[in-house]
């Protein structure tokens, strides 16, 4: 039995799951998301929790058990609380601002880079921190990764865009190498 898959998913107040065949629709205060549940997984919905189990003990069913439990739990958290990723940017003259549903970045290129927010995603900029938020964990993570990919942190001066909790790898540089090698 999957250690993750057998943990029941608690349903918070104001969130309602609805199962129609293989389609699970979850409504919450932040919005609504749909999941098409695998046919190897069985769901039991009660008043306060969802139990995820597998129909048989085959290898594909065992592989999907923990995965679907986490996908459903992430969806419930998304519609009730929401997800967010924070990005930090550092560099001389680097700026970011939100215009309508676009994030405009000036990060050392000859032109500003515009990132259009996908449906359900919001941007917020305070000082040098970009916050990407929404109800779909996968969309939030992918949008944050796309923004980070625009200008990754370079290893010598540490300029670029990184996740707030990321520790970029730093290199010594020519001066430090020359001093230690002589």
Mean residue pLDDT of the chain comes to 92
Q: Is domain 83-163 given the CATH code 3.40.50.970 in the classification?
A: no
| pLDDT tens-place string over residues 69-94 | 999 999 999 999 999 999 999 999 99
Residue 50 · residue 9 · CB < 8 Å: yes
CATH class label, 9-80: alpha beta
Answering whether pTM is above 0.85, one says: yes
* Category of 100 on φ-ψ map: left (φ > 0), alpha (ψ -120 to 50) or beta: left
- 154: alpha, beta or left? (left if phi > 0; alpha if psi -120 to 50): beta
Residue range(s) of every CATH 3.90.930.12 domain in the chain: 9-80, 83-163
Residue 26: which of 139, 118, 153, 136 has the closest Cα? 136
- The two tokens of residue 59 are 């290898």
């Amino acid at each position: 039995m999957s250690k993750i898959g057998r943990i029941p998913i608690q349903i918070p107040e104001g969130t309602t799951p609805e199962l129609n065949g293989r389609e699970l629709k979850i409504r919450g205060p932040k919005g609504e998301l749909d999941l098409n549940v695998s046919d190897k997984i069985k769901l039991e919905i009660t008043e306060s929790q969802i139990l995820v189990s597998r129909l048989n003990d085959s290898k594909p069913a065992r592989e999907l058990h923990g995965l679907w439990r986490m996908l459903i739990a992430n969806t419930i958290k998304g519609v009730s609380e929401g997800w967010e990723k924070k990005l930090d940017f550092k560099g001389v003259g680097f700026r970011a601002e939100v215009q309508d549903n676009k994030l405009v970045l000036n990060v050392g290129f000859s032109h500003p880079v515009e990132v259009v927010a996908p449906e359900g995603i919001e941007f917020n900029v305070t000082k040098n921190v970009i916050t990407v938020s929404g109800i779909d964990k996968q969309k939030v993570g992918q949008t944050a990764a796309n923004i980070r990919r625009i200008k990754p942190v370079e290893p010598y001066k540490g300029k670029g865009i990184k996740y707030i909790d990321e520790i970029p790898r730093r290199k010594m540089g020519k001066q430090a190498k020359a001093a230690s090698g002589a």
